[in-house]
Amino acid sequence: MARQNVSVELLKTKAAYRRALARLAFFFDHPPAPGTAEDAEFEILMLMVERYESEHYALPRPDPVAAIRFEIEQRGLDPAALHALLGSRQRAHEVLQKKRRLTLRQIRDLHRQLGISAEVLIQDY
């Protein structure tokens, strides 16, 4: 396979970021053929835009209790499922009311059973 030259601008300013978005918009309207220089440019731009956005527009992590409520709702689970995960109805109520902190075991169980990030669950609230 012949080597292809790709020229892209590093995204260090908001103006460069906007130019990259405009170029990506073009590619979305006119997809490049696989294996071409334009295809490589598209992939590089996607990576750079993703990195720029994660550095400049990062979303804060959700509150642990908000994350638990969201997962319970999304999965259509009833309160009994949370009671079982947290040990009792009273403990679940206290955690959801932010009157009791999660224990390490509860964090592990919530992470394993509901797939909630441990980094989210260990945050202070």
- 28-63 residue pLDDT tens: 999 999 999 999 999 999 999 999 999 999 888 899
The predicted pLDDT at position 78 comes to 87
The predicted pLDDT at position 53 comes to 95
User: Residue 85: which of 99, 73, 102 has the closest Cα?
Assistant: 102
- For the segment 77-120, what is each residue's pLDDT rounded down to a tens digit? 988 899 999 999 999 999 999 999 999 999 999 999 999 999 99
Q: 75, 114 in Cβ contact below 8 A?
A: yes
Distance of CA 77 to the CA centre of its chain: 22
The reply to whether 51 and 70 lie within a common domain is no
What is the residue range of 41's domain? 14-56
Tell me which amino acid residue 104 is. L
User: Would you say the pTM of this structure is higher than 0.85?
Assistant: no
The reply to whether 49 and 20 lie within a common domain is yes
Our count of domains for the chain comes to 2
Residue 64 — pLDDT band, cuts 50, 70, 90? very high
